[in-house]
Chains A and B, each alone.
Chain A
Amino acid sequence: MTEYDMGRGTGPQQTDGFFHYSFQRVAGKHVGEYTQIHVKAVDHRASERLAEEARRTQEITNELKSRDDRAKPPRTLARYVRFREDTGGHGTPVLVLGAHGIRESGRFLETAVQEDEVTLPLSAKQVRELGINLYEALTVLHGIGYAHGEVGAQNLLWDEHNAVLARCHAAERDHSGTERGKDVAEAARLLHYVATGSPIEAGTPLSPQAQRDLEACIRGLGSVVARALAPPRERIDAADAYRWLRDLAVGHEDEPGGRAPRAEIADTAAERREREAFREIRNRHRAQRRARYPEQVAPPPPRVQPPLPGGDFLPRRSLWRVFWNEGIGAAAREVLTRFMGMRPGPRALTVFGVAGAVAVLVLLLGGTL
């Protein structure tokens, strides 16, 4: 352990066979607290690679700085701090990276998994957070025209909450965009890996089963990953993936079945146009229906369909019979409904008037018969 002890108090350590890593929390003068990662090559070949990595990381960091002087360093992308070619003559070079997004408990994810410090799959919340950080880092990197070239668990720092993308030894300026597309796909595979614990083959589209597994983790994740793994021309970019992942909601784990509310994936411009077109049609039709079928406040009296078999076939009672059975009021009402099309109701005056007429009629009829 002492061989890469640099005389300062080091934090936890990790090794992957090529490099030794030690982590420590430091307070920067202008940038606040962050975690430093000291990367030390174990042999000559690793030293060369480290020098290359240092060169590229510095280039990227400078590029980022040059864009905006006062901008804060990216939270999710490790930045260059310094590189010491040689420590004490026979020593090996050390690259110091700065990671702002993680605490000092951060580790390289792959190594942590290998050493059983972390077990996959991660929880839905962790997966989502990791995905967001990862694509945020790629968005930053791609935004200045670089592709990372080796997105994977071995290059991802993770502290159980947040992730920082590091190790830009394969990073390159990407003029055509194909390399950036590859980054997006690699990141999607990494997401599948941490969400399910099993890797998927590179270069293949997402299988329905795999997609379903992802959906089971976070509703909507499957679709994002599927689109990130789509054939290059249909593939989404890192910024889209970042936005969509942020829109995904993680279900409460105590909810039965862990059902998350349905995740909304933001529309592309064309999709948004169509959605608005649809709403417009629907509103127009609704207005047309309103004119066609104005709703009435009073419910209609329930219409009773033929109540009893045979009921329809009873001959209608004669006026005379109504008068005998139910009296003069009922007879008057009967007259009203039958001959004047009025609805029977307590229209006392009319009823009274007609009642009088009926009485006269009945008397007359009775007299003549």
Chain B
Amino acid sequence: MKTFNYHSVKDVKEASKLSSSKSAFLAGGMTTIPSMKLGLANYKDIINIKGIKKLSGIKVSGKTVTIGSTTRHAEVANSKEIKKAIPSLSALAEGIGDPQVRNRGTIGGSIANNDPAADYPSACIALNAVIHTNNRKIDAEKFFRGMFETSLKSGEIIESIEFAIPQKSSYQKYPNPASRYAIVGVYVAKHKSGVNVAVTGAKSCVYNDKNLSDILSKNFSADAINNTKISASGMNSDIHASADYRANMVKVFAKKAVEAC
């Protein structure tokens, strides 16, 4: 790993001021550190944001669950409040990687990175999340822009993620047996306003399957999507699964999720 200047900051302003096109924020480091070691990324400055108190913690109100960006996966997995308000969200966190990844990795790092196979982006879409940054609020639908791409501007810091508590929800994934990233993951959430079917792992970026969402909004049952055809166009194809297989898995896991709701 090439050398860099390490900074540990106490507030968001300082972090934002230090950042440049050659810097990265250090949250869990579970992506940043291996990327630097593999030479996929090099930074002049590494800015540790975990010392910023207001970025961590969990708040549950009547309608929403708000999670600070540096909150670790293990904290979300073990939170009694989240287990009660949105059990599918704590179950998702429990299924990420392995215990040591969950002890370090953070929700903010996960969504800022927007890996096409990451779990949390699907939760953001399914649970109508609002991403709070140091400058603005961004709807999840507008946040995830493409493969490893988000609408975050340089120096912009995610402070927290606010999820809407659904009536029912379930996240089901077919994990890569080595990393546990999703080969296909489907997050179904039924809100008063309608159903979301967020899909991760299948394409270059997480998306809401509008067709499945519409059908399930009218008739919330696994049988309702029995005859729906999922197109393989735009689906990922790699050593783990072909595009056709992934298309089929989207339906299989959507049905599983509806049944588990």
A in complex with B: no
